[in-house]
Amino acid sequence: MARPPEIRISHDSETWAAAAAELVYAVGQEAVRANGQFLIALSGGTTPETLYRALASPAFADRFDWSRTTFFFSDERCVPPNDPRSNYALAHKTLFTPLKITPSQVYRMAGESRNPEAAAHEYEQQLRLATKTSPSAQPSLDLILLGLGEDGHTASLFPGSPALRDNQRMIAVTQSPKDPPTRLTMTLGVINQASVILFLVAGAGKAGVVRAILDSKTEAERQLPAALVEPEGGRLIWFLDQAAASELPRHQQRTSA
């Protein structure tokens, strides 16, 4: 049975970013101590950018041996890597460049490919090789960062997507209701194998869907993509700012970062 999610609420964006950075730092330190390397999958959107800038700040940049870290992506938009909408472009600008991460440490999804299905298959092979995962198993990353859409989507797993029921592939091609429509995404099979899954959610606009996920009352709410994230043996942690947590029941709001 999956562990209940850990909910951590911060009063402002600065505290929220520092607390999230501390968690990434702690998970990375433990992974390096146990396995000699830290395997992390990044997400896109504006919320992770706050975390990336915290990790690249003087307070954190020099505390961790980033040469032991390998970066993956939980999803990507099908655009070139220099497109402002690209998740890779955001991470490259705000995280990889400031931390002097070498190209060999980064496995990006080929969003610019004219054949998204081939790009998904290629990334799956890269993920298997990088994590030394056999063809019959799913890789186990140390940490996967996820965001949350107002419709309950996470990574690029959208409500009603066939990829939500895909138990075979690691990487799937999905369609978004927003531009750009075609996306590449990790499936729940990979996500739920992670040692730690960290949801990063901020803003009052997400309060309703946060409540729907963490205090589900209907079957429809329990079937939202983000509600299906249940790590099989790992930890599920939600980092919320006060605005995003504002519709949670009071007993859940008492948890703070």
- Three-class SS of 9-52: EECCHHHHHHHHHHHHHHHHHHHHHHHCCEEEEECCCHHHHHHH
- Residue 250's pLDDT is 79
User: What is the spatial distance between Cα 7 and Cα 204, in angstroms, rounded to a whole number?
Assistant: 17
> Position of tokens 């075609």?
182
Q: Containing H/E element for 190? A: helix 188-191
| Lowest-pLDDT range of 23-37, 50-64, 73-87 | 50-64
User: What is the spatial distance between Cα 70 and Cα 103, in angstroms, rounded to a whole number?
Assistant: 10
Provide, rounded to the nearest whole percent, the portion of the chain with pLDDT above 70. 98
pLDDT tens for 59-110 read 888 888 899 999 999 999 999 999 999 999 999 999 999 999 999 999 999 9
Which SS3 state, helix, strand or coil, does residue 71 take?
strand
User: What is the spatial distance between Cα 191 and Cα 143, in angstroms, rounded to a whole number?
Assistant: 9
What is the architecture of the domain spanning 26-200?
3-Layer(aba) Sandwich (3.40)
Residue 255 — pLDDT band, cuts 50, 70, 90?
Answer: low
- Residue 13's pLDDT is 82
Q: Containing H/E element for 76? A: strand 75-77
Domain boundaries, the chain: 26-200
CB 7 within 8 A of CB 240: yes
Which SS3 state, helix, strand or coil, does residue 77 take?
strand
| Lowest-pLDDT range of 12-21, 147-156, 190-199, 246-255 | 246-255
User: What is the spatial distance between Cα 239 and Cα 48, in angstroms, rounded to a whole number?
Assistant: 11
- Residue 257's pLDDT is 56
CB 240 within 8 A of CB 8: yes
Calculate mean pLDDT across residues 230-244.
95
